[in-house]
Amino acid sequence: MVNLLPVKIFVDSSSDLPRQLASELGIIIIPMPVYINNVTYYEGLDIFPDTFYADFKTYKELPKTSQPNPNDLQKIYEKILADGFDVIAIHLSSGLSSTYQTALLVKEQCSYPDRIHIIDSLGASLGFGLLAVYAHEIAKRYDDTAKIVEEIIKIRDRMRYIFTIDTLEYLVKGGRVSKTAGFVAGLLDVKPILHINREGRIEVFNKVRSRKAALRKLIEIVEQNIKDPAAQIIGISHAASLEEASILANEIQKRLGVPEIILSEIGCVIGSHVGPGTIAVFYQQ
């Protein structure tokens, strides 16, 4: 018998959830816009990571991003409601985007706002993509949507986001980290380790001298802080760095014995702010 879930799980494309996995789980992904050289593209529809990163250094200016169109959000929410499901929408951190606040406003314009549940992921990329995966599993166990949301929030509050980037230039230009942090990193020619804090904002967490040291540091941080690795999924996302991400995944698997590691490519929305060469790890603490 097919286990029909009481809800539909919904994320925006900045979740970097692999499309095939989302399709298998019935998770709905709404594209977010990316503006490149005054042209609007929609992530996953007419722009994809392979060409985005290949052309990244040729762009006249840093790509810009925006929240999903409110009308598009409302149409999808209403379609889910009309199909008889409650909506659980998990969106990019309110500390990084206005998407969450917009979704709250859209909810109030819908026919049954009490059946729409908007969650601030307080995270980005595959880290909150994992929340959607967990939400799917949680929804199999409960018929009460409020209980499902409660359990998702518990996991959200344990989720940790750590990543390394080639340069702080793009995050500084986009206002995601301070100019002081960018200046220091550039001056010392260091590789920063960053994280998303409990308020959903990016902070410099550590600094090392080389790329190899940065990758080793990511493993060390996970190893020292992860709780009950045998009972969780780890996510690793990368921006045009598949080989390094795969090596990282193999080493984490060997050391921690986690049952599953999901590997994904950082999409165009998140990639606009972090740039090529970024590698991120997501786990629960």
CATH number of the domain at 170, please: 3.30.1180.10
The answer to whether residue 38 sits within a structural domain is: no
Q: What is the DSSP letter of 47?
A: B
For 50, 114, 276, the CA distances from 151, given in Å and listed in that order, are 35, 18, 34
> What are the tens digits of pLDDT across the range 152-181?
999 999 999 999 998 777 776 655 555 555
Q: Are residues 19 and 102 in the same domain?
A: yes
Contact in structure between 176 and 273 (CB atoms under 8 Å) = yes
Domain count, the chain: 2
Q: Show the domain range for 96.
A: 7-32+67-156
Are residues 12 and 152 part of one domain?
yes
CA triple 222-154-116, angle to 5 deg? 130
Query: Quick check: is 83 in a domain?
Result: yes
Phi and psi (nearest 5°) for 69? Answer: -65, 125
What letter represents residue 114's amino acid?
A: D
Both 166 and 216 in a single domain? yes
pLDDT digits over 242-255, tens only? Answer: 999 999 999 999 99
* Residue 135 in domain: yes
Same domain, 111 and 223: no
**Domain containing 98 — which CATH number?**
3.40.50.10440
Same domain, 140 and 171: no
Domain termination site, one of 133, 156, 179: 156
Q: How do residues 110-148 score in pLDDT, each as one tens digit?
A: 999 999 999 999 999 999 999 999 999 999 999 899 999
CA angle 50, 55, 57 (to 5 degrees): 130
Residues 144 and 241 in one domain: no
Q: Is the residue at 179 inside a domain?
A: yes
Note whether residue 57 is domain-resident: no
